[in-house]
């Protein structure tokens, strides 16, 4: 008699209770582990991750320093579970928030099984890239893939020239020109990355996409829309807090959120003439939330001033910007 369960019904309603699936379900060469996307701001780390996950989980914008927290994005396939760690861009911090962001990114490096050192190959390396390379060199045992992103923006000869300049910044297992936007080499890079992961089980249930709550993702999507729509100095001074998140019985999700600015003048800009800007942010955020939650969303947005919140340790904590724990 075979000991194999005949037909494993993955959709059965046997309560999993968050437990891991039976090891028999996984092939013997199943791989798993943490893959950290590390780089200076604005190189396309979050864009790449969203593309691999096939959902818009991470806030993305043309403005640097979009990502503020460490965020997990979990990709489960029959042969592997990749736990991507999106990190804030490493930069020279000028506020407590900035310090928190850089510290968060640094801490992700030694904990990773694979590092994706992401750069913008359309430009030659800058001092910021050198600094990131230095941080990564601090974890010499972790394999590093040099991801030469935004290759769609330049001619192949220029890409090759810049590639050589990036490659000398450190020791890399492999380097690959990609375009997170066009998709060029995106799948190839994913396969390379998985091949570098150690054999291991699934750490998360197969349907889990992130370690964050929906309300956190909601706050990020609202902040992203505001970042996209607002100009100049305002974006960095914004924070979003979801005050209420309720799923109604008819499936509608009710979300009440506050956008915080640092100054009265910024509050005025966020609201706009006759409230037009806030309405637009609200409408676009609602559409993004509906796509993400696959539900009808009722979104209520408020704007408040919280003077110099980026230097306010207590408020940063309330926003969820906690200094990472020592391990
Ligand atoms: N042309 C082009 N643009 C890209 C590519 N990847 C990302 N971008 C754009 O670059 C900008 C920054 O992308 P993000 O994904 O927010 O960059 P990030 O590295 O996560 O930035 P931080 O969170 O600030 O560290 C966005 O406007 C993206 O649309 C690419 O392959 N080609
Ligand atoms: Mg990002």
pLDDT per residue as tens digits for the range 224-279: 999 999 976 678 899 999 999 999 989 999 999 999 999 999 999 999 999 999 99
Beta bridge partners of 144: 115
Tokens describing residue 206 = 């197969």
Collapsing DSSP to helix, strand or coil, 245 comes out as: strand
Tell me the mean pLDDT in the region 132-161. 97
Predicted confidence (pLDDT) at residue 323 exceeds the cutoff of 90: no
pLDDT of res. 24: 54
Q: In this predicted structure, what is the pLDDT of residue 6?
A: 36
290 C-alpha to ligand 2 centroid (Å):
21
* Ligand 2 geometric centre to CA of 67 (Å): 4
The per-residue pLDDT for 214 is 86
Nearest Cα residue to atom 8 of ligand 1: 44
The DSSP H or E segment spanning 317 is helix 313-318
Same fold, 23-195 and 214-318: no
> What is the per-residue pLDDT for 11?
38
Angstrom distance (rounded) from CA 154 to CA 160 = 10
Q: Note the pLDDT of residue 62.
A: 86
Q: In the prediction, which pLDDT does 325 show?
A: 57
Q: Residues 15-33: what's their mean pLDDT?
A: 69
Per-residue confidence band for 220, with pLDDT thresholds at 50, 70 and 90? very high
Output the pLDDT for position 320: 83
How far does residue 277's CA lie from ligand 2's centre (Å)? 24
Is the predicted pLDDT of residue 20 greater than 80, yes or no? no
What is 214-318's CATH superfamily?
K homology (KH) domain (3.30.300.20)
Q: Where does the pLDDT of residue 25 fall: very low under 50, low under 70, confident under 90, or very high at 90 and above? A: confident
**Is the full-model pTM beyond 0.75?**
yes
Q: Which distant-in-sequence residues (6+ apart) come within 8 Å of 275 by Cβ? A: none
What's the gap in Å between 44 CA and the centre of ligand 1?
3
Nearest bound ligand to CA 90? 1
Q: Which residues line ligand 1 (CB under 6 A)?
A: 39, 41-47, 60-62, 64-67, 88-89, 149-150, 152-153, 179-181
The residue ranges of every structural domain in the chain are 23-195, 214-318
Q: Can you tell me which atom of ligand 1 is nearest the CA of 178?
A: 31
Question: Is the predicted pLDDT of residue 83 greater than 80, yes or no?
Answer: yes
Confidence grade of residue 1 (pLDDT, cut at 50, 70, 90): very low
Lookup: tokens for 292: 């993400």
Tell me how far apart the alpha carbons of residues 146 and 170 are, in angstroms, rounded to a whole number: 9
CA of 47 from ligand 2 middle (Å) equals 7
* Class of domain 23-195 as given by CATH: alpha beta
Q: Rounded to an integer, what distance in angstroms lies between the CA atom of residue 79 and that of residue 293?
A: 27
Q: Which residues surround ligand 2, an ion (CB under 5 A)?
A: 45-46, 66-67
Q: Which two tokens stand for residue 192?
A: 């390379």
Helix (H, G, I), strand (E, B) or coil at 71: strand
> What is the reported pLDDT for 213?
83
Query: If pLDDT is split at 50, 70 and 90, which confidence band does 173 have?
Result: very high
What confidence score (pLDDT) does residue 212 get? 83
Closest ligand (CA of 118): 1
Give the whole-angstrom CA distance, residue 194 versus residue 261. Answer: 41
pLDDT at 154 over 90: yes
Are 101 and 88 spatial neighbours (Cβ–Cβ below 8 Å)?
yes
Q: Euclidean distance between the first and final Cα of the chain, in Å?
A: 47
Stated as kind and residue range, the H or E segment containing 37 is strand 31-38
pLDDT for res 287? 96
pLDDT for 324 equals 58
Please give the pLDDT value at position 8.
Answer: 36
* Average pLDDT rounded to a whole number, residues 210-223: 90
Q: Which ligand is nearest to the CA of 40?
A: 1
Q: Identify any residues that bridge with 86 across adjacent strands, giving them in sequence order.
A: 37, 71
Mutate to test the pocket of ligand 1, among 39, 43, 47, 154 (most ligand atoms within 8 A of CB): 47
pLDDT value of position 88? 95
Is the pLDDT at 16 greater than 50, yes or no? no
């Amino acid at each position: 008699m075979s000991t194999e369960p005949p037909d494993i019904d993955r959709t059965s309603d046997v309560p999993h209770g968050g437990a891991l699936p039976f090891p028999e379900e996984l092939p013997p060469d199943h791989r798993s582990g943490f893959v950290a996307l590390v780089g200076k701001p604005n190189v396309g780390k979050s864009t790449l991750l969203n593309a691999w996950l096939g959902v818009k989980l991470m806030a993305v914008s043309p403005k640097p320093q979009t990502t503020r927290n460490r965020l997990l994005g979990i990709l489960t396939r029959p042969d592997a579970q990749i736990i991507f760690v999106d990190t804030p861009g490493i930069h020279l911090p000028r506020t407590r928030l900035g310090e928190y962001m850089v510290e968060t990114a640094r801490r992700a490096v030694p904990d990773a099984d694979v590092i994706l050192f992401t750069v913008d190959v359309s430009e030659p390396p800058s001092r910021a890239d050198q600094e990131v390379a230095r941080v990564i060199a601090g974890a010499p045992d972790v394999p590093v893939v040099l991801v030469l992103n935004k290759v769609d923006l330049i001619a192949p000869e220029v890409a090759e020239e810049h590639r050589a300049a990036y490659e000398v910044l450190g020791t890399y297992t492999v380097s690959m020109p990609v375009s997170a936007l066009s998709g060029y080499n995106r799948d190839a890079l994913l396969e390379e990355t998985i091949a570098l992961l150690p054999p291991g089980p699934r750490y998360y249930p197969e349907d889990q996409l992130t370690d964050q709550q929906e309300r956190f993702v909601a706050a990020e999507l609202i902040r992203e829309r505001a970042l996209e729509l607002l100009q100049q100095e305002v974006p960095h001074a914004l924070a979003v807090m979801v005050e209420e998140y309720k799923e109604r019985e008819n499936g509608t999700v009710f979300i009440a959120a506050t956008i915080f600015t640092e100054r009265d003048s910024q509050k005025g800009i966020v609201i706009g003439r006759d409230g037009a800007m806030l309405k637009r942010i609200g409408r676009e955020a609602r559409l993004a939330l509906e796509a993400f939650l696959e539900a009808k969303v009722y979104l209520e947005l408020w704007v408040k001033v919280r003077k110099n919140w980026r230097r306010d340790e207590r408020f940063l904590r309330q926003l969820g910007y906690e200094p990472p724990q020592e391990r």
